[in-house]
Amino acid sequence: MSQPTKSAAASAVAFDLRETDLFAFCRKGGNVAGDVAMRDLPRILAETAADAPASAPDEIFRYTLAGVMREEAAEPGAPVLQRLFLDVTVEGRVWLDCQRCLQVYPEPIDTSMRFEVMASEEAADAAPMDDDELDVIVGAKAFSALELIEDEVLLALPSAPKHEVCPAVHESLVTGADGEVEPEAPPEVEKRPSPFAVLAGLKTKR
């Protein structure tokens, strides 16, 4: 029964989020999942609203990284080429200021991307950019997946952050439209004789 513990420990040792051999990871079809705290993503922290809860740096992003190797020939008979890919998903939330009501709110992040892992900058520059679903990254023997995760969260941030429905706007709509509470009608004043009627009465009494 000690098998799962052993293999979990082994894979934890094999994968370092800040420094991993990305080529080897993709070639062997590596697959890891884990958590990163906001405090380890300084560029996300810098984007976080000033009014975010004090616990914001403790918020967790869940990530998965999966390596894929494909061997294919450009055309029949051509030499078989090795292509490496990395699938990345990141889920979490970032506290932002709503541009509509100016209140802080948690923007959900749920992003997934497939990258082709290139051997060098030159190869990356030469890669055809005809696939919107596929981005290109340059691999390394000491690749920082942490920075890639941070990049993905930054790219997923909205350029104009807004609540789906602003609580403040929502309330004002409710009270401003047919929900408006009319001021209560003043209670019926006691029927009093008008001063003129009283005067008239005095006159007739004389």
Strand order in the sheet with 60-73: 31-37, 60-73, 80-97, 104-118, 134-138
| Minimum CB–partner distance for residue 175 and Zn ion (Å) | 17
* Residue 98 is a binding residue for Zn ion (CB under 5 A): yes
What's the distance, Cα to Cα, between the start and end of the chain in Å? Answer: 116
* Residue 106 is a binding residue for Zn ion (CB under 5 A): no
Give how many residues touch Zn ion by CB under 5 A.
5
Q: Are strands 104-118 and 31-37 parallel, antiparallel or unpaired?
A: unpaired
* Residue 166 is a binding residue for Zn ion (CB under 5 A): yes
| Minimum CB–partner distance for residue 98 and Zn ion (Å) | 3
CB 36 within 8 A of CB 63: yes
Piece of the chain touching Zn ion by CB under 5 A; list 14-22, 91-99, 117-125, 195-203: 91-99
* Residue 127 is a binding residue for Zn ion (CB under 5 A): no
| Minimum CB–partner distance for residue 40 and Zn ion (Å) | 29
Piece of the chain touching Zn ion by CB under 5 A; list 60-68, 79-87, 150-158, 166-174: 166-174
Write out the two tokens for 152: 């993905």
Piece of the chain touching Zn ion by CB under 5 A; list 9-17, 32-40, 78-86, 157-165: 157-165
Nearest to 118 by CA among 96, 143, 100, 97: 143
| Minimum CB–partner distance for residue 93 and Zn ion (Å) | 15
* Residue 100 is a binding residue for Zn ion (CB under 5 A): yes
Binding site for Zn ion (CB under 5 A): 98, 100-101, 163, 166
